Amino acid sequence: MGRARLARLHGVATSYAPSPGKSVQTADDTVVAVLAALGVDASTPHAVRTALAAYEDGAGRALLPRTVVARPDRPPDLTGLPEGTVLRVETEGGGTADLGAPDPAALTRLPLGIHVLEARTPGGRTARAPLIVAPDRVPAPPGRSHGFLVQLYSLLSRRSWGMGDLGDLADLAAWSGRALGTGFVQLNPLHAAVPGPPTDPSPYRPSSRRFPDPVHLRIEHIPEYADLAGTARLRADELAARAHTLRSEVLEGGALIDRDAVWALKREALELLWAVPLSPGRRAAYCDFLAEQGQALEDHATWCAIAERHGPDWRGWPDGLRDPRSPGTARLRHRLLDRIDFHCRLAWLTDQQLAAAQRAARDAGMAIGLVHDLAIGVHPSGADTWAQQDAFAAGMSIGAPPDAFNARGQDWGLPPWRPDALAAAGYAPYRELLRGLLRHAGALRIDHVMGLFRLWWVPEGRPPTEGAYVRYDAEAMLSVLALEAQRAGAAVIGEDLGTVEPGVRDALAARGVLGTSVLWFERDYGGGERDAAPRAEAAEAAEAADGPGAARAPEAVPDGPGAAARILAPGEWRSGCLATVTTHDLPTTAARLTGADVALRERLGLLAGPPERERSRATYELAVWMGELVRRGLLPEGQGDEEAAVKAVHRFLLRTPARMVGVWLPDAVGDRRPQNLPGTWDEYPNWRLPIAGPDGRPHTLEELAASPRLHALMRELSDGYR
């Protein structure tokens, strides 16, 4: 009982529900391990008693919570303050406000921002805590809009260096906004990767979520490129010629996108550009960026510089360098000032090109512009975990518990944030992360948005079946999100596919966070509220091998859980969502229509049952959908026409009340290959494919812009808004 109470006080669940009506107790040793990662010893009955007493003497007697959260019509709970306590607020802007006797409602009337609340009792006890005053909701998207969903690396133009870059992004936004009337472009995470070789190509396992990866830079768009002269100019021309060959191999030779080869060329070119003196105006802008980013950028650049010497896993560095604040790190930092400046410069250049891409989108008439993607976590050996070690739970990894569709559970290999450390820091790491991502965004997608409420922690060395849920302060997490989104004027989209505990979608909707609705999975499975639908449990299974970033949902099959599930009518869809037909790790629409998705999984040995049965499942599912589209008059061209069917499913989306409708860009040209195939590693080239047509031939951005098939599909969407 004592250990269970201790777990509850620290947000550690002692049971979980793998399916509706079933409860599984968390193993005691798992609870002990998770509590240990939170700095709580529960290994023996004596330790439990000591920890409970420490809690009562500490958090239990504290005048104020670690962080106080207030928003309109929702004052904080300050009922535990002794009579006669007076409150004082130091505002974010530097002012003060003496509130006198505790009046929680007065806190809600303060300006929005991050303040400091001080409480003083008649007996002389004092306490200070960060005070977050947040709006009730994130900004809503400006009207209904449609746009593209794209993995940037896959979008090559005739100017990119072997993979899509920020120049291509700006061009895509400028063209599609003007020519097609699109309102947004949603991207994969552009977070900084753990350097290789080989570099993990997945954008969902980054080294840092706080800074973008300079591999996305368009070298020729850097102003100093024009100032290269002499041998530097000759070398830059040689690098550009090699980049042309690399690009041609991908576009014309059938080669995969090679991030490491691209980065090798760009890094050398950037070394040349770094040697070019900045103009006075450029130097001033760079200094402003350094001052604005502060310690976070210095830490990131320091990690990058040390990684060049000692490798990208800081856990294997010499002892004195594993602590970013150690004397040894300080001494090496001094010796590596030039390399640190180089990596700071790259962060600045990337930020500039991101800003230019968002300007291009807005100048083209896009109401939203860029939609950036926030991965659920970071790599354990990367820059963020080195710089913010106190914020991460050592020896833990996030994942998913076992359920009816995946009895083994999942371990994603990403360390979780400690909820207690976030609260103690006034959620500063989270705030800074959001602020950086929202600098040049009209909206933000949050992968596995359920992680704002709870995450499944798996102790190192144990199978994911032996994990436990750890709860986060969702009120605080959502309030910080609302505050930063309002400051940026950006909408927020939560990826809420998969296992979602009851009430979470309602809580997100109440704060204005849009959900994600995928056409094939919007069905009425019975069983009450949306959160409990069987699709939610099944959806998580697709993430087993690839972890976060994978879209998750079941197939409706003649003899499966979705057999009798009615397709939701367009009017039954929620309006607060981004509606799509498919995503980056589901089959493309053309693949579903032609059976190419089943053929691919059969070739790789990934089918869940006999090939005949799986083909029957897919045929049944497709027949149900085609019948629905015909019945609703959305397929006047008749069945058997692939391009017409692709238009029809998007016509269906237009009939829903969804605020945003997304078109997977490869769908617009009939690509049959998924960008990511969950369940594979070496068997399939995940995250390394260029956008291609039905025959597998890569399409450049220029060819996409001229594609009759793409224009015909996009006319359906632009006409649908008139």
pLDDT > 80? residue 526 = no
Kindly list the strands in the beta sheet with 660-664, ordered across the sheet, starting from the edge strand earlier in the chain. 491-494, 443-446, 369-374, 184-187, 145-150, 660-664, 577-580, 515-518
pLDDT at 102: 85
Asked whether the predicted pLDDT for residue 556 surpasses 80, the reply is no
Mean pLDDT of 277-290: 98
In this predicted structure, what is the pLDDT of residue 21? 82
- Per-residue exposure over 255-288, b if at least 16 CB sit within 10 Å of its own CB, e if not: bebbbebbbebbeebbebbbebebeeeeeeebee
Instruction: Give the count of beta carbons closer than 10 Å to the beta carbon of residue 309.
Output: 13
Least confident of 277-281, 409-413, 531-535: 531-535
Buried-state track 135-154, b at ≥16 Cβ within 10 A, e below 16: bebbbebeebbbbbbbbbbb
Residues whose CB falls within 8 Å of the CB of residue 506, separated by 6 or more in sequence, listed in order:
none
Average pLDDT over residues 321-325: 97
Q: What pTM, to 2 d.p., does this model score?
A: 0.94
pLDDT at 536: 34
pLDDT at 715 over 70: yes
Q: How many CB atoms lie within 10 A of CB 98?
A: 9
* pLDDT, tens digit (0-9, with 9 covering 90-100), for 43-70: 999 999 999 999 998 877 899 999 999 9
* E strand residue ranges, 317-403: 369-374, 396-400
Confidence (pLDDT) at 558: 45
Task: Give the pLDDT band of residue 722 (cuts 50, 70, 90).
Answer: low
Q: Is residue 564 very low, low, confident or very high in pLDDT (cuts 50, 70, 90)?
A: low
Question: Tokens standing for 193?
Answer: 């990767």
DSSP letter for 555, please. Answer: P
Write down the pLDDT at residue 370: 98
**What are the pLDDT digits (tens) for 665-688?**
999 999 999 999 988 988 999 999
Task: Indicate if the pLDDT at residue 559 is higher than 60.
Answer: no
pLDDT for res 721: 63
pLDDT tens for each residue of 216-273: 999 999 999 999 999 999 999 999 999 999 999 999 999 999 999 999 999 999 999 9
Report CA dihedral (164, 167, 173, 179) to the nearest 10 degrees: -100
pLDDT band, residue 720 (cuts 50/70/90): confident
Task: Convert 628-655 to b/e letters by CB count within 10 Å (16 or more is b).
Answer: bbeeeebbeeeeeeebbbbbbbbbbbbe
Cβ atoms of 106 and 86 closer than 8 Å: no
- How far apart CA 522 and CA 569 sit, in angstroms, is 9
Region 510-519: what's the mean pLDDT? 98
What is the rounded average pLDDT of the residues 410-428?
97
Bridge partners, residue 19, by sequence: 22
Percentage, residues of the chain above pLDDT 70: 94
Give me the pLDDT at residue 557, please.
43
Q: What is the mean pLDDT of residues 161-171?
A: 98
Residue 13: the pLDDT is 97
pLDDT digits (tens, 9 = 90+) for 613-662: 999 999 999 999 999 999 999 999 999 899 999 999 999 999 999 999 99
How high is the pLDDT of residue 245? 98
In the chain the first and final C-alpha atoms are separated, in Å, by 63
SS3 249: helix
Please say if the pLDDT value at position 553 is more than 50.
Answer: no
- Cα–Cα–Cα angle for 198, 211, 451, nearest 5°? 90
The model's confidence at residue 546, banded by pLDDT at 50, 70 and 90, is: very low
320-324, 329-333, 419-423, 543-547: lowest mean pLDDT where? 543-547
CA dihedral 433→436→437→443, nearest 10 degrees, is: 110
Residue 99 · residue 88 · CB < 8 Å: yes
pLDDT at 554 over 90: no
Q: How far apart are CA 297 and CA 291, in angstroms?
A: 9
Mean pLDDT of the chain: 93
Q: If pLDDT is split at 50, 70 and 90, which confidence band does 100 have?
A: confident
Q: Give the pLDDT confidence of 113-159 residue by residue, as tens digits.
A: 999 999 999 999 999 999 999 999 999 999 999 999 999 999 999 99
In tens, the pLDDT along 358-405 reads 999 999 999 999 999 999 999 999 999 999 999 999 999 999 998 876
pLDDT of residue 362: 98
**pLDDT-based confidence at residue 548 (cuts at 50, 70, 90):** low
CB 525 within 8 A of CB 579: no
Rounded average pLDDT over 68-73: 94
Q: Are strands 145-150 and 410-414 parallel, antiparallel or unpaired?
A: unpaired
For the segment 296-322, the average pLDDT, to the nearest whole number, is 97
Q: Is residue 221 within 8 Å of residue 168, measured between CB atoms?
A: no
